[in-house]
Amino acid sequence: MYRSKKIDHINVSRSQLGLYVTTFGDHFETQVIFFHDLGEYHDRYSEFAEYLFHQEIGTTFIDMRGHGLSSGSRGHASSYKDLLEDYETFFDQRMDNYKEKKVFLCGHGLGALICMSLDQIYSHVEGMILINPAIQYRDLPDLGLKKILGKRSLLDKFKIPLPSGIDALSNEQVVVSNNKHDPLVNKKMTVGMYRSINELLKRIKYSSYFINVPVLYIIGEEDKIVDLDISRLFSSSIDGNLLMLKNYKNLGHEVFNELERDIVFKDIKKWIRLTESSYVKE
């Protein structure tokens, strides 16, 4: 697989930041563009990429600003608009590469919210895979920050903890636990990122009504990070003709690094093949 690995950098708009892009199997007809979770980066999903590669499905991972090997202050974004503009820039520059491909968007946690926010590219994709979408966190730190969340301030880059339990090591089902010593895994976020997440959560509230592509919605029932009741309620507002909801009893938030991950990988592959063969965009 790594013989097909391609690494690139995307310069983004006003900020002069560079996004680190990793692609595997760009020659395959079917491609998955992946958006990682808060604190994570591309290498945390390598087993998923390898599995899809052997199924002749290519993957592209874009490290979020301030994450992994992308530039920017660690764990920081000044606004959700900055995050979305980064990915819009990626598509502006790279969509021509996907013109003859069947493209799926895939997001994990916070990345699932980003998927749903890129509605201007729905017409270019076959469907979306939303894995433990962070529709609402069970525990976002307060720390008396509400008064300053509505405006930028000198405290924007002040570091605060990630939502409780976001560290994969807190889940005893996790197979890959080397993130404890991985310097590219963020252990904290900034006040600016906290505000960006809250802005994105508000924006995503009604987005389910506007989704017009097939959706595979995955919930790990042992997820201690996402409010599962809210997540299920959100999924119920997606057009039932487009939605496939999958619940996994023994999986938590870290689907990609847990013992039963292979079951999820196979189900994702089956759904991709079913969708690309049966769905015709209007």
| pLDDT tens readout for residues 141-177 | 555 555 544 555 557 888 888 875 554 434 434 444 4
Size of the chain, expressed as the number of residues it contains: 282
Confidence at 120, pLDDT banded by 50, 70, 90: confident
122, 103 contact by CB (below 8 A): no
- Who's near 267: CB < 8 A, 6+ residues apart? 216, 218, 246
Angle at 272 between CA 241 and CA 232, to 5 degrees: 50
121, 87 contact by CB (below 8 A): no
pLDDT at 174: 46
Confidence at 279, pLDDT banded by 50, 70, 90: low
Confidence at 139, pLDDT banded by 50, 70, 90: confident
Upper half-sphere CA count for residue 192 (Cβ side, 13 Å): 20
157: β partners: none
CATH architecture of 2-278: 3-Layer(aba) Sandwich (3.40)
pLDDT tens, 52-104? 999 999 999 999 999 999 999 999 998 999 999 999 999 999 989 998 999 99
pLDDT at 164: 59
Please check the confidence at residue 239 and state whether its pLDDT lies above 50.
yes
Confidence at 133, pLDDT banded by 50, 70, 90: very high
Angle at 161 between CA 257 and CA 224, to 5 degrees: 45
Euclidean distance between the first and the last CA atom of the chain, given in angstroms as a whole number: 35
pLDDT tens, 190-224? 989 988 998 999 888 888 888 999 999 999 999 99
What one-character DSSP code corresponds to residue 254? -
d(Cα 161, Cα 106) in Å, to the nearest integer?
A: 26
pLDDT at 64: 96
- Amino acid at residue number 37: D
Nearest to 32 by CA among 272, 275, 282, 214: 272
- Amino acid at residue number 243: L
pLDDT at 180: 54
pLDDT at 14: 64
d(Cα 196, Cα 179) in Å, to the nearest integer?
A: 24
d(Cα 2, Cα 23) in Å, to the nearest integer?
A: 10
